[in-house]
Amino acid sequence: GAGVSQSPRYKVAKRGQDVALRCDPISGHVSLFWYQQALGQGPEFLTYFQNEAQLDKSGLPSDRFFAERPEGSVSTLKIQRTQQEDSAVYLCASSLRDGNNEQFFGPGTRLTVL
């Protein structure tokens, strides 16, 4: 069966460019998460959606980061005016519902900002 997919898998941006990262969660999964993983580190929580509602965006590093999930399925993470410190792997995960359930992760998008 189809898992979580993300696109693009790799993105190179010049500093100051805007980027948009896409996540297709597992069909029917209510919860969707974005994480940022720096090289050699564990993922760090960015934001959480329950259906189309963004219930927690406390992990977004700055107001240059914006996420949406308008129809409760596909989600987009947008980074405006990218900076070098934004270089990381951005992971998307989905789960069937809340309640401390297993999260299924996508392969991630590796963003490199030059």
Partner 1 sequence: SQQGEEDPQALSIQEGENATMNCSYKTSINNLQWYRQNSGRGLVHLILIRSNEREKHSGRLRVTLDTSKKSSSLLITASRAADTASYFCATDAGSSYKLIFGSGTRLLVRP
Binding residues (CB under 8 A) for partner 1: these are: 4, 31, 33, 35, 40-45, 48, 50, 55-56, 59, 91, 93, 95, 98-100, 102-108
CB of 39 to partner 1, least distance (A): 11
Rounded Cα gap, residues 34 and 22, in angstroms: 10
Cβ nearer to partner 1, comparing 17 with 72: 72
Cβ nearer to partner 1, comparing 32 with 113: 32
Quote the tokens at residue 74. 């596909």
Nearest to 61 by CA among 39, 84, 95, 30: 84
Cβ nearer to partner 1, comparing 86 with 108: 108
CB of 56 to partner 1, least distance (A): 7
Rounded Cα gap, residues 48 and 26, in angstroms: 15
Question: Do 49 and 57 touch, CB atoms closer than 8 A?
Answer: no
